[in-house]
Amino acid sequence: MTGTDDTPPTVEERYLTAAHTSNLRVVADKKGAGDVLIAMGWSPSRVGAALIRLHGEWDGAEKRPRMSETDYILLRSKLKSLTSVLAQVVAHMGKRGMENPEASAGPIVGYWLDQNCHTCHGLKFLTIRDTPVLSGMRCRVCHGSGKGAIPQGNQGKDVLNWMDACVGAARASLRTRLRNTE
């Protein structure tokens, strides 16, 4: 989960690597995983940090091509940060007076993790029955966009925008703090 030989790792990659290391020593004049975790701990966006962790868990999870809805549910049950993120999303939705936050948060977070249409699997076209070959017919569910429908419509879109803003704030804070320690 690091950058290629030519590009340095992103701040998210550095954070996720630090979160999974066993060496958290902080040494003067040498930046390590401990420094990265300290920098993220100072972030004003705790929700953003939790979302970055959750997205890292999702990216690292073993996914099969053409998973069913049940496969997605089972996969989500293995994500350690999901419970915390769901609680924070429910709290945010409650503060905003949104309808039914307990039932809406799960599908919204699920969509944030995987926006692909689950019918065409993000391929935009249907496959020919019993073959891996794409037909010339656009997916009837996503109308050829490759993306699923946003759960809860405009309410879901507002929550997704808030989640993206939280991630952006955490990313910017981490980037600034790591730059200041170099």
Q: pLDDT digit string (tens) for 87-142?
A: 999 999 999 999 899 999 999 999 999 899 988 888 899 888 888 888 889 999 99
The pTM for the full model equals 0.74
Say if residue 19's pLDDT is above 90: no
Say if residue 2's pLDDT is above 70: no
Is 54 buried (19+), middle (13-18) or exposed (0-12) by CB count in 10 A?
Answer: buried
Structure tokens at 179: 């730059």
Q: What digits encode the pLDDT tens for the residues 47-61?
A: 988 898 898 888 888
Helix (H, G, I), strand (E, B) or coil at 8: coil
Q: Name the amino acid, one letter, at 71.
A: D
Query: What does pLDDT average to over the chain?
Result: 83
Model pLDDT, residue 5: 65
Of 84 and 22, more confident:
84
Say if residue 82's pLDDT is above 80: yes
Query: Rounded to an integer, what distance in angstroms lies between the CA atom of residue 11 and that of residue 31?
Result: 13
Q: What digits encode the pLDDT tens for the residues 127-181?
A: 888 888 888 899 999 999 999 999 999 999 999 999 999 999 988 888 777 775 5
Model pLDDT, residue 146: 93
Model pLDDT, residue 4: 53
Model pLDDT, residue 6: 77
Q: What digits encode the pLDDT tens for the residues 9-18?
A: 777 777 777 7
Mean per-residue pLDDT for 81-88?
A: 92
Structure tokens at 35: 């420094």
Query: 58, 65 in Cβ contact below 8 A?
Result: no
Segments making up each domain of the chain, as ranges: 11-180
At residue 125, φ and ψ (nearest 5 deg) are: -125, 155
Q: How many CA atoms lie within 13 A of 73 on its CB side?
A: 3
